[in-house]
A = this chain, B = another copy of it.
Amino acid sequence: MQLGIIGLGKMGYNLSQNLLDNKHEVVAFDVNQEAVKTISDLGATGASSVADLVSKLSSPKVVWVMVPAGPITENVLVELKELLNENDIVIDGGNSNYKESLRRAAELKEAGIHFLDVGTSGGMEGARNGSCTMIGGNKEAFATVEQIFKDICVENGYLYAGESGSGHYLKMVHNGIEYGMMQAIAEGFEVLEKSPFDYDYEKVARVWNNGSVIRSWLMELTENAFSKDAKLEGIRGVMQSSGEGKWTVEEALDLQTATPVIALSLMMRYRSLEDDTFTGKVVAALRNEFGGHSVVKK
């Protein structure tokens, strides 16, 4: 079917290729017109603006927004609300906060526009070759575009999760779990690194990927990473984070739920952003105060 794609970054570009492979008619726009040109060469119809993109779609129009969550997504959706009409469908495939999606669904509904909040997992490779999507919003609107998800996802790789917000909520929690699994794997390798034994981490990850209880895609990626840099000597252990892990913890707090593993996974990421901590200084100063323990001077 025909659909517009707004945003041709890492995810949007791969998604567009995936859609073209599956014989969908893609009208594509990005502020970076180079990316538009490149995808046009692969068969997409290029658009010079959001308005241009909308004008090139036939009704009911379907627009997939794949731009960074936050203000950029907001601006695109505000613009789309002006340009679209009743029964048109907007899909937000980015990592938006589900509370924003709830609000946006309500706002677009005022204009009769359907809004689907779609969490996407699987990374760039998934976007290109088959991803996993979790979809929230109006069930009939979903049915209208279901074929898209059938085509771009791996088998059994999409789920209509329920009413508005439920798609991004599920993606949020998915990422919370991901943080915990990654930290668990990483802690394990840190123990190995400090252990009295001399392990080959790539081989360890490989054997764990074959028959063990902890075999997983993340462990496969671990194997890949070690195959490129056996001891990860080339990089620093700085753990950035986007918003979903934090949102999961905030949601857990709002629900009065104990999620220590997800919370600590996040906090250890924050800790990794710093060379030194004020917490550490206070504790060191206190040890010096009561026990005369020496401190490390700067």
One complex includes copies of this chain to the number of 4
- Whether A278 and B166, one on each chain, are in contact in the complex, defined by CB atoms closer than 8 angstroms, is no
Contact of A236 among B134, B192, B276, B292 (CB under 8 A): B276
User: Min CB distance, A227 to chain B, in Å?
Assistant: 11
- Whether B166 and A233, one on each chain, are in contact in the complex, defined by CB atoms closer than 8 angstroms, is no
- Residue A269 is within 8 A (CB to CB) of chain B in the complex: yes
- Whether B218 and A213, one on each chain, are in contact in the complex, defined by CB atoms closer than 8 angstroms, is yes
Chain B residues with CB under 8 A of A125: 290
- Whether B174 and A208, one on each chain, are in contact in the complex, defined by CB atoms closer than 8 angstroms, is yes
- Residue A71 is within 8 A (CB to CB) of chain B in the complex: no
A255–B281 Cα distance when bound, in Å, is 18
User: Min CB distance, A262 to chain B, in Å?
Assistant: 5
Chain B residues with CB under 8 A of A265: 184, 261
Contact of A282 among B155, B185, B267 (CB under 8 A): B185
- Whether B236 and A154, one on each chain, are in contact in the complex, defined by CB atoms closer than 8 angstroms, is no
User: Min CB distance, A252 to chain B, in Å?
Assistant: 6
- Residue A268 is within 8 A (CB to CB) of chain B in the complex: yes
* Residue in B closest to A129 when the chains form the complex, CB atoms: B211
- Whether A295 and B235, one on each chain, are in contact in the complex, defined by CB atoms closer than 8 angstroms, is yes
Contacts A157-B210, A203-B159, A280-B237 given; indicate if A270 touches B290 (C-beta within 8 A).
no
A181–B163 Cα distance when bound, in Å, is 29
- Whether A278 and B190, one on each chain, are in contact in the complex, defined by CB atoms closer than 8 angstroms, is yes
- Whether A210 and B156, one on each chain, are in contact in the complex, defined by CB atoms closer than 8 angstroms, is yes
Contact of A187 among B169, B177, B232, B284 (CB under 8 A): B177
- Whether B134 and A190, one on each chain, are in contact in the complex, defined by CB atoms closer than 8 angstroms, is no
A40–B287 Cα distance when bound, in Å, is 30
- Whether B286 and A221, one on each chain, are in contact in the complex, defined by CB atoms closer than 8 angstroms, is yes
Mind listing 5 A-B residue pairs with CB under 8 Å? A157-B212, A187-B258, A236-B295, A260-B260, A272-B283
A residues contacting B by CB (< 8 A) are: 10, 121-126, 130-134, 136, 153-159, 161-163, 165-166, 169-170, 173-174, 176-199, 203-204, 206-219, 221-222, 224-225, 229, 232-240, 246, 248-253, 255-273, 275-293, 295-298
